[in-house]
Structure 1
Amino acid sequence: MEQGRAREAAVPPSGAPRVPGQAKGPGARAGDPRGEHVHGGPPASRSVHRHSVRGQILAALRTALVDGELAPGEVYSAPALGERFGVSATPVREAMQQLSLEGAVEVVPNRGFRVTERSARELAELAEVRAMIEVPVMLRLARTVPARRWVELRPLAEATIEAAATGDRAGYAERDRAFHRAVLALAGNEQLVQVADDLHRRAQWPLTAAPVTRRGDLVADAAEHQALLDALCAQNLSVVQALVREHFTGSAL
């Protein structure tokens, strides 16, 4: 296929992500804080329903990106994706606009959205920025957070290992970010967590013509989470620093 041509078969049928069944959203709540009189609630219901569908589509598109079902350099039209998902083009377009803000796709006027082609250099730059942000924070947390708090995060680390063992790239990507968010949340800085999570998500989009990530790579990446918790519990600062930097530069996703 010529690069840049909008693909009607937006996602391979055998691996196409599915959108869960759509349920009606709740109507307007009594006691609206604005003191307005709401008649019946349909406008609010439609708004909540559309937001729910957009969220489902966004999750499905993110999964397709991580799994490589949406290929770097290809253009996908909102109507074609909407037909694939069984929804109108509107929630697909809205979800794609969000992915555009995240750097995963770019708008192609009158055609659709092109999946961003990323290089190994871009990935290295993201790893460098993440290390600049997270290493100092984790070193500070290693000095101040009691061991019992790190023990509480072990189920999140184990969840990444479970996803890695099955080769579930998309599931691993979500659990990997959940683990890092939980660690950084102990710093008590929500802005830090949001910025770091955005960088982390950008680092998970596939490279141009990247080889398929092997299950063994995911397992090795996940094992570093447990090792990091061990080092944090022991307040071993040199190991914490080495693990975090290695984790970023050698991450499977």
Structure 2
Amino acid sequence: MPGGRLTQQERQQIAAGLADGLAYAEIARRLDRPTSTVTREVMRNGGPAGYRADLAHHATQRRTRRRPQASSRGTRAVPQPYGRDNAAVQEFQEALTTVILTSGLPSMAARVLGCLYTADDSLTASELAERLQVSPASISKAVTLLTGLDLVRRESEGRRERYVVDNDLWYQSMIRSVRDNDRFSETARQGVAVLGRDTPAGNRLENAARFLDFVSESLTRAMEQARDVLYTKPETPPAATAPSPDHE
């Protein structure tokens, strides 16, 4: 598998693959590159609809020329507990951030979420800024977005706030999605009354409302079951009683 930076020819192949509607994994297979490399390249340079090979190549060259000046400030190597390999953790964090990017989150929000996911403890805004080597203002904006989406939870520590993701992250996020679906479903039914049930537009809205009602009900039931099963610690079995010496 080739390593190093993508060449201009490889970027042209990525652009051609996107134009043909190929998935990132298929483009990566043809280039003999990791899928995360292709995903990160596309998301960093305009996304699937805006990716241009020449512009992406020039942008990478500009970033490379600026990197020595930026790296002179140094980056903080975070000591890894549990005997973890620091390079492997950083590589995984980058891959996770790339996956989060594809969900539609802005770049900085994805980086913050990836950082919090790979941290054993909650982090302050200043700790996040230090780890990601960005300004506190960038962290503040990203955290505001993430907390608003119920993807990050705030914890108060005196005058400071700490941020964390926990077991309830996906549960709360999906509950939010269900509520959004319910609001759309309710509004759609109002539209049916206005547009007429027997009209194409009214029929479209009614079908959307019925679909979302069914999905929301099924999803809520599945989430509650999963939460009870996965997040409930098993009871500690009672200690076995040793038989008495004269018990036969």
Q: TM-score range by the shorter chain?
A: 0.3 to 0.5
TM-score of the superposed pair, with normalisation by structure 2? 0.33
Instruction: Please say which structure displays the higher CA radius of gyration.
Output: 2
Q: Which has the higher contact order (CA 8 A, sep 6+)?
A: 1
TM-score, normalised on structure 1?
0.33
